[in-house]
């Protein structure tokens, strides 16, 4: 298959600069879940570290341990899916920052960390999303048990955090009130809270009062804007990745590329996507399982490289997502992982 994902690390680095400028004085935690949103974990983490990113958000422990090995001991690596005592112990030993949104996980962390280990805990309150997080009515009990673990030097309370829907300002405002109340309860108990973090890309960019000490931003750092949200120009970012595919056959009215639905190009993208060709944008006519047909142009040749979607293509992942009624991450994560990768930039 000729289709490939080309990731421009210099564009990514420019996005990091834009993110940092936008969220300052809060720090930027670069979220790298899902293999860095399909961009490839190791090259993304290495470049981000070179660019001065000091917090990484890794979702699961397995990924976080890889990140730790890439960034060395000084950067902070935040993980928020921890299953069982063994995983908790591995996380504590690697000096990860542990996002704990469940009393059972808190017990596991306490059991995994010897007195003196000072495991770094960020307690998560459920601020309304109801997916994960300690319910407000259990918060005081959780804070008391953290207090006991802190006294035993098993854990150090580093932060309080939550996740918000970023779907409506009103709902997010209510979440923020619950979040502030949770932080106040910790401080009243006598424990300092060094890192409060609530926002992801959308709220982190749009709403200063959501940034607190740390903004956990993934999508915008890769240049994946929100569907129906501000443009890339307004955000000051660009998609770092582009999917390319080569022409494998030239027909009377169309050309064929060897990228199809079985590689993750949605069949519903037919007639909803423009590809970059040597003669300018041309319409995607039909997506078949193993190949697709694209509107022809004069002089088309086998081997011509077409920009299918992304930063160097007429349409971004989010442009396509909007036409399909989904989000850019979904398009990216269906398409990018199936492709071989090339990196540009240093």
What residues make contact with ligand PLP under the rule CB under 6 A? Answer: 31, 33, 80, 163, 200-201, 216-219
User: Closest Cα to residue 334, out of 313, 308, 295?
Assistant: 308
Shortest reach from residue 162's CB to ligand PLP, in Å: 9
13 or 259: whose CB is closer to ligand PLP? 13
31 or 125: whose CB is closer to ligand PLP? 31
CA distance 268 to 288: 10
List residues bridging with 272 in a β-sheet.
none
3-class state of residue 42 by DSSP: helix
Shortest reach from residue 211's CB to ligand PLP, in Å: 13
120 or 216: whose CB is closer to ligand PLP? 216
31 or 160: whose CB is closer to ligand PLP? 31
CA distance 82 to 120: 13
Shortest reach from residue 199's CB to ligand PLP, in Å: 8
14 or 127: whose CB is closer to ligand PLP? 127
Residue showing tokens 């962390």: 109
CA distance 148 to 310: 50
33 or 334: whose CB is closer to ligand PLP? 33
Q: Is the peptide bond before 25 cis (omega within 30 degrees of 0)?
A: yes
Shortest reach from residue 201's CB to ligand PLP, in Å: 3
Q: How far is CA 83 from CA 33, 60, 86, 90, 110, in A?
A: 16, 9, 8, 11, 13
User: Closest Cα to residue 112, out of 88, 93, 95?
Assistant: 88
Residue showing tokens 């909007």: 322
33 or 288: whose CB is closer to ligand PLP? 33
CA distance 326 to 204: 21
Shortest reach from residue 31's CB to ligand PLP, in Å: 4
Shortest reach from residue 230's CB to ligand PLP, in Å: 13
Shortest reach from residue 334's CB to ligand PLP, in Å: 16
The C-alpha torsion from 166 through 168 and 173 to 179, rounded to 10°, is: -30
């Amino acid at each position: 298959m000729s289709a490939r994902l080309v990731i421009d690390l210099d564009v990514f680095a420019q996005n990091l600069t834009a993110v940092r400028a936008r969220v300052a004085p809060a720090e930027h935690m670069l979220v790298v879940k899902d293999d860095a949103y399909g961009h490839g974990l190791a090259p993304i983490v290495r470049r981000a570290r070179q660019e001065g990113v000091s917090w990484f958000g890794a979702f699961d422990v397995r990924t976080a341990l890889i990140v730790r090995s890439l960034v060395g001991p000084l950067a902070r690596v935040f993980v928020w899916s921890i299953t069982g005592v063994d995983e908790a112990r591995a996380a504590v030993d690697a000096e990860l920052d542990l996002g704990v949104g469940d009393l059972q996980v808190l017990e596991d962390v306490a059991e995994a960390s010897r007195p003196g280990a000072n495991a770094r805990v960020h307690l998560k309150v459920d601020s309304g999303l109801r997916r994960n997080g300690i319910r407000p009515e259990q918060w005081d009990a959780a804070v008391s048990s953290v207090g006991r673990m802190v006294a035993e030097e098993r854990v150090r309370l580093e932060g309080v955090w939550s996740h918000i829907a970023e779907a409506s300002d009103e709902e997010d405002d209510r979440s923020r009130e619950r979040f502030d109340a949770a932080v106040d309860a910790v401080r009243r108990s006598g424990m300092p809270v060094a890192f409060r973090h609530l926002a992801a890309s959308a709220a982190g960019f749009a709403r200063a009062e959501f940034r607190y000490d740390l903004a956990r931003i993934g999508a915008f750092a890769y240049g994946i804007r929100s569907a129906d949200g501000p443009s890339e120009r307004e955000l000051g970012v660009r998609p770092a990745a582009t999917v390319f595919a080569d022409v494998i056959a030239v027909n009377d009215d169309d050309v064929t590329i060897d990228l199809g639905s079985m590689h993750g190009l949605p069949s519903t993208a037919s007639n909803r996507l423009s590809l970059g060709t040597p003669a300018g944008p041309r319409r995607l006519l039909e997506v078949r399982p193993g190949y697709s047909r694209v509107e022809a142009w004069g002089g088309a040749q086998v081997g011509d490289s077409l920009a299918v979607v992304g930063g160097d293509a007429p349409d971004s992942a989010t442009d396509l997502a909007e036409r399909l009624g989904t989000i850019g991450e979904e398009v990216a994560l269906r398409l990018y992982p199936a492709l071989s990768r090339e990196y540009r930039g240093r």
